[in-house]
Amino acid sequence: MIKKIAVIGAGSWGTALAVSLSGKGHSVKIWDINNEHLQELKDHRENIRFLPEVKFPDGIEISFTIEEAISGAGIVLFSAPAQHFRSAFDGAIPYLKSEMVLVNVAKGIEQKSLMRLSEIAFEKLPDAKYVVLSGPSHAEEVGRAMPTTVVSAAKDLELAEYIQDVFMSDRLRVYTNTDVAGVEFGGALKNIIALGAGISDGMGYGDNAKAALMTRGITEIARLGTKLGASASTFSGLTGIGDLIVTCTSMHSRNRRCGIMIGEGVKPSEATKKVGMVVEGMYTTEAAYQLAQKVGIEMPITEQIYHVINEKIDAREAVKSLMTRQKKHETEDVFQR
């Protein structure tokens, strides 16, 4: 069952998946909007910028036009950053055929529109065979064939199972799920809690505080997600709490590193500058805060982080406010069903 796969976007995650797929015998073509970067991939047979020390197997080709990459492919994998998904998708549309399966591995909520990425895709191509691949998966580890699990999610279970078969190996275990909204919300909103976990660490708080933040954090993410059509069970899974665990406990996470600086007393605007790259959680916090207000959902942790990163309150005040809220029953809402 050898497939032809186009990978659109040669960051660390797209590259790691290309290597993994090629290792299973699939034929993979990589394209990226940056021509110079593509030339480097071709010259070095390695992504020295974003996934160093992982050599490309022979089955990986570099394409210098998106048309060439997509032409003849059975599967088109989108691995552009979330805020660039719309333009990457627009660029691909002229070459897509209705039988091609589209897989998106980006995680985020689009700014301003507050749309999930699948909503953007279906708005443009209502009949797209669209799959989201998500889960606790640092690219650095997948590129090195370290054991990893992910979820293939599509409204149509058979489609999710098709991608499960294509990607699964004895190093990459793939589960299926039909809750596309839940998988997308989990992957995007975890970055809010990663910022918060960093802030907690930066303030010198311990493992107890961070575990509380993660557990109550996924609870409020689930509360928003279920209100917007997701299934609560998804947030207890690999793309929910699983991905949150990986993000909050790793120094790979830019969101967490940014949070640590804020917790140490650096101004949020300064901390973002110092990280030097996009801190997705800053956008996601704003998006979630707006969504929660819009649909009338209580998200106390998100709200406090929103006020901290907008320099309205100090991190210590935020913690005090969270610890002294009205007393609660643990499962009064979302998981109680």
Contacts to its own copies from residues 265-304, by CB under 8 A = none
Smallest gap from Cβ 235 to its own copies, in A, equals 8
Q: How far is the CB of 231 from its own copies (least distance, A)?
A: 7
Among residues 61, 110, 179, 286, which is the contact residue for its own copies, using CB under 8 A?
A: 179
To the query of whether residue 190 is one of the catalytic residues in this protein, the response is yes
CB of 111 to its own copies, least distance (A): 28
Of the ranges 26-34, 161-169, 186-194, 306-314, which one interacts with its own copies (CB under 8 A)? 161-169
Which one of residues 242, 263, 268, 281 is an interface residue with its own copies (CB under 8 A)?
242
Question: Which pairing describes strands 27-31 and 60-62: parallel, antiparallel, or unpaired?
Answer: parallel
Report the amino acid identity of residue 263.
G
Question: Could you tell me the CA-to-CA distances from 1 to 26, 29, 285 in Å, in that order?
Answer: 8, 17, 42
User: Does the footprint of its own copies cover residue 79 (CB under 8 A)?
Assistant: no
How far is the C-alpha of 108 from the C-alpha of 190, rounded, in Å?
10
Task: Answer whether 220's CB lies under 8 Å from 156's CB.
Answer: no
Tokens found for residue 128: 């797209």
- Which residue in 108, 117, 148, 118 sits closest to 17, CA to CA? 148
Catalytic residue from among 190, 267, 273, 312: 190
Pick the binder of its own copies from 57, 141, 300, 313 (CB under 8 A). 141
The answer to whether residue 156 forms part of the interface with its own copies (CB under 8 A) is: no
Say what angle helices 180-202 and 117-124 make with each other, to 10 degrees: 150
* In the complex, minimum distance from the CB of residue 54 to its own copies, in angstroms, rounded to a whole number: 14
Indicate which single residue of 24, 129, 138, 223 sits in contact with its own copies (rule: CB under 8 A). 138
- Any bridge partners for residue 103, and if so which? 77, 131
| Residue 252 C-beta: closest distance to its own copies, Å | 8
Question: Binding residues for its own copies, how many (CB under 8 A)?
Answer: 68
Say whether residue 218 binds its own copies (CB under 8 A).
Answer: yes
- Tell which one of 236, 266, 275, 313 touches its own copies (CB under 8 A): 236
Least Cβ distance, residue 178 to its own copies (angstroms): 8
Among 177, 255, 284, 304, binds its own copies (CB under 8 A): 177
Q: Does 212 bind its own copies (CB under 8 A)?
A: yes
Contact 149, 174 (CB under 8 A): yes
For every residue of 225-287, DSSP letters joined together read: HHHTT--HHHHTSIIIIIHHHHHHT-TT-HHHHHHHHHHTT--HHHHHHHH-S--HHHHHHHH
Show Cβ contacts of residue 20 under 8 Å, excluding neighbours closer than 6 positions: 142, 143, 145, 167, 169, 171, 172
The β-bridge partners of 6 are 29, 76
Binding test (CB under 8 A) with its own copies, winner from 164, 272, 284, 304: 164
- Give the pair of three-digit tokens for residue 245: 């665990």
| Rounded CA separation 116/157 (Å) | 20
Q: Which is nearer to its own copies, 161 or 264 (CB)?
A: 161
C-alpha torsion angle, residues 121, 127, 129, 135 (rounded to 10): 40
The residues, ordered by sequence, that sit 6+ positions from 158 with a Cβ below 8 Å of its Cβ are none
By CB under 8 A, tell whether 237 contacts its own copies: yes
Stretch of 84-92, 93-101, 187-195, 225-233 lying at the interface with its own copies (CB under 8 A): 225-233
Q: Which is nearer to its own copies, 129 or 223 (CB)?
A: 223
User: Which residues contact its own copies by CB under 8 A?
Assistant: 135-138, 140-142, 146-149, 151, 157, 161, 164-165, 168, 170-171, 173-177, 179, 205-212, 214-216, 218-219, 231-238, 241-243, 245-246, 249-250, 252, 319-320, 322-325, 327-331, 335-337
Residues with catalytic roles? 190
